[in-house]
Amino acid sequence: MPNAKLQVPFPTNEPIFGYRAGSPEKKLLKKTLTEMMSTEIEIPIIIGGKEIKTGNMGECRIPHDHKHIIGTYHKAGPKEVEMAIDAALGARENWAAMPWEDRIAIFQRVAQLLATKYRHIINAATMLTQSKNAFQAEIDSACELIDFFRFNTYYAMKIYERQPNSAPGMWNTLEHRALEGFVFAVTPFNFTSIAGNLPSAPAIMGNVSLWKPASSAVFSAYYLMKLFKEAGVPDGVINFIPGSGAQVGNPVLQSPDLAGIHFTGSTVTFQSMWKTIGRNIENYKTYPRIVGETGGKDFIVAHTSADVDALRVAIVRGAFEYQGQKCSAASRAYIPKSVWVQLKDPLVEDIKSIKMGDVLDFRNFMNAVIDRAAFDSIAEYIKYAKAANDAEILIGGNFDDSKGYFIEPTVILTTNPKFKTIQEEIFGPVITLYIYDDDKYEDTLHLCDETSPYALTGAVFANDREAILLAKNILRNAAGNFYVNDKPTGAVVGQQPFGGARASGTNDKAGDMINLLRWVSPRTIKETFNPPTDYRYPFLEEE
Amino acid sequence: MSENLITKKMWVEEILEKYPTAQEFLSKKNIVCVMCGEPVWGSLEELMQEKDFTDEEIERTIDELNRFVSENPEDKQVDNNLPKLDKTYKRID
């Protein structure tokens, strides 16, 4: 429709379904879960819309019932990477040239299909292979991902609207071009929403992408590919190449057409990719945009004026929801002695009451951690704390992988402010507490700031405004998402743009215009309506 | 000693997949190979070089690692039977 200036509908956040007893959404979700569990699907690589099978297989296991496999997937290698790059570059010209309104219409349709027809499917896939309870799946794979699509398409329009001033006699315009090449999206297991967002945010801006999902989350990612296809994302715009990080990642990074990386995962892997790009910098056709969100050692600092009940709930929800496997999960807390006296027993009671188990039992607050490697890694930290002289396990500390990868919600108390588990990212249901003298609040804020290399999320609990102000100032660079009297998890698209700096990433705020700006390369065009016909300027005239 | 199962050029992801108990050993050596719930990319040698291991230390550690995984093989028992879902979990540690 060339003769119209279109407006993308102003987005609102997707409402969260309640999944109450007897509700239609709960019945449908349970039916879908049962169906998925009773079959085993074969997941192909998808390149240029074509299904590719290599025979080099991986498994989709249910973490809370790890003997149960509900899918197998074909792994990509260097050959498939080359094919994917060719397919992406082949699709690029048409996709980048498509009127932006049409690209946006496709992704608005993706959002709507996810909100309706695909909601229970993607939620069930996430619950089963990523071991999320219904609520955690709903806020992630349904609501947050729908929000990503709706807000990103709206922000895309806002970016395209932005134009420079023009002096009389000319018209200056800014064209927000797609990047010259492809974007490599590397997505994590812990959020299906991030998995869907990383390849699609660049695509909304006219780019093509290669998508390597986490090996433990291929199952839900495959259903997202089906969603993209049905909504009309053209073949080759998003190419699905599951496989081992090194087998897929290394050849991708060698491609001269690499134009960007959209990454969520570990700091070590991100830094390794950045170094590789640095070493290859002369080989690329353009400087790759590097966007990454990595680890966190997210904190809660309580002041003596804190509301103890609010603090308790924030610790339990912030540290243990989704088994602590959120980049934003609270994994260290600093509590003043006078507050600890009031907090300790109710906190222990709350944690004792947490039920853990299968996602099919909707009464379970917690489920399993993602896989064997994660289970072992977390268990090693707990064993370390058990053996230490300067720490004790206040509650939890047990783990069992006989049926699923279950780890109890665990609270470690330490007298050492630099104890291993208060510094290192564990990525599991483990929080370490340090109890400080009431009069050491300011010192403790500095301690919190200096204890970890990360700076993703953090929270302060206080009713005293001066204490809040002090925390905001001292912890200015300690978190990209800072919370006052709230848990440090649960950022909402359009409300709390998400991302952190220092070792936590490039802080390009997923789901915000800030992020989308990384996926365009502006071209300025000046058109002069009546160009000069004499090279001589007026000052050249004789007196 | 017989030929090593694990070599320094192997990807970390491959080592953990084939020899899950390797992680316990590496963790004790302060070589974190799982972050954000996922194996880090790259070879074991690259990971150890990041930790400033010398070439000699790398060779020695790989030998120790191979001995460890030989003495602590994975007891993985996987089948495709649909298990009855257990609503609780038991504590083993």
For B34-70, the pLDDT digits (tens) are 888 788 988 999 999 988 999 999 999 999 999 999 9
Domain assignment present for residue B35? The answer is yes
What residues 349-368 of chain A have any CB closer than 8 A to a CB of chain B? 356-358, 360-361
Subunit contact B89:A356, Cβ cutoff 8 A:
yes
**B47: enclosing H helix or E strand:** helix B44-50
Of the candidates B33, B80, B87, the beta carbon closest to that of A357 is on B87
- Tens of pLDDT, residue by residue over A291-315, are 999 999 999 999 999 999 999 999 9
Are the C-beta atoms of residues A214 and A179 closer than 8 Å to each other?
no
Distance from CA of B65 to the nearest CA of A (A): 16
Subunit contact B35:A406, Cβ cutoff 8 A:
no
Higher model confidence: residue B42 or residue A122? A122
Pairwise CA distance, residues A106 & A104, whole Å: 5
Residue B58: CB atoms within 10 A of its CB come to: 17
Subunit contact B39:A245, Cβ cutoff 8 A:
yes
Measured between CB atoms, does A327 come within 8 Å of chain B?
A: yes
Tell me the average pLDDT of chain B: 78
Domain assignment present for residue B71? The answer is yes
- Residues of chain A with Cβ-Cβ distance to B11 below 8 Å are 244-247
Helical spans, DSSP H, in A388-485: 420-423, 441-451, 465-474
Distance from CA of A204 to the nearest CA of B (A): 27
Domain assignment present for residue B84? The answer is no
Query: What number is the ipTM of this complex?
Result: 0.74
A424 noted as active-site residue: no
Pairwise CA distance, residues B8 & A279, whole Å: 22
- Residues of chain A with Cβ-Cβ distance to B10 below 8 Å are none
- Report CA-CA distances (Å) from A128 to A36, A231, A238, A340: 8, 24, 24, 38
Q: Which of A80, A293, A321, A408 is catalytic?
A: A293
Q: Which of A14, A101, A144, A327 is catalytic?
A: A327
- Tens of pLDDT, residue by residue over A486-527, are 999 999 999 999 999 999 999 999 999 999 999 999 999 999
Domain assignment present for residue B85? The answer is no
**A262: enclosing H helix or E strand:** strand A258-264
Subunit contact A369:B77, Cβ cutoff 8 A:
no
3 state SS of A187 = coil
- Going by their DSSP bridges, the two strands B34-35 and B38-39 should be labelled as antiparallel
Distance from CA of B60 to the nearest CA of A (A): 22
| Distance, first Cα to last Cα, chain A | 57
A82 noted as active-site residue: no
| Half-sphere exposure for A91 (CA within 13 Å, toward CB) | 24
- Tens of pLDDT, residue by residue over A246-299, are 899 999 999 999 999 999 999 999 999 999 999 999 999 999 999 999 999 999
Domain assignment present for residue B63? The answer is yes
Of the candidates B36, B79, B90, the beta carbon closest to that of A266 is on B36
Beta strand ranges found along A13-96 (DSSP E):
41-43, 45-47, 50-52, 57-62, 65-74
Subunit contact A369:B79, Cβ cutoff 8 A:
no
Beta bridge partners of A258: A182
- Identity at A17, one-letter amino acid code: F
Q: How many domains does chain B have?
A: 1
- Tens of pLDDT, residue by residue over A5-19, are 999 999 999 999 999
Of the candidates B16, B27, B79, the beta carbon closest to that of A67 is on B79
Q: Label residue A487 exposed, middle or buried (CB < 10 Å: 0-12, 13-18, 19+).
A: buried
Kindly indicate the confidence band of residue B92, based on its pLDDT and cuts at 50, 70 and 90.
very low
Q: Label residue A474 exposed, middle or buried (CB < 10 Å: 0-12, 13-18, 19+).
A: buried
User: Rounded to the nearest 5°, which phi and psi values hold at A75?
Assistant: -95, 140
Measured between CB atoms, does A377 come within 8 Å of chain B?
A: yes
Residue B27, domain extent? 12-77
Domain assignment present for residue B4? The answer is no
Tell me the average pLDDT of chain A: 97
Mean per-residue pLDDT for A204-217?
Answer: 97
- Tell whether the model's pLDDT for residue B91 goes beyond 70: no
Q: Considering the entire predicted model, what is its pTM?
A: 0.94
Interface with chain B: mutation pick from A266, A293, A362, A423, highest number of B CBs within 10 Å: A266
Residue A39: CB atoms within 10 A of its CB come to: 8
| Measured CA angle at A453 (ends A452, A459), to 5 deg | 55
Subunit contact B80:A269, Cβ cutoff 8 A:
no
Domain assignment present for residue B51? The answer is yes
Domain assignment present for residue B28? The answer is yes
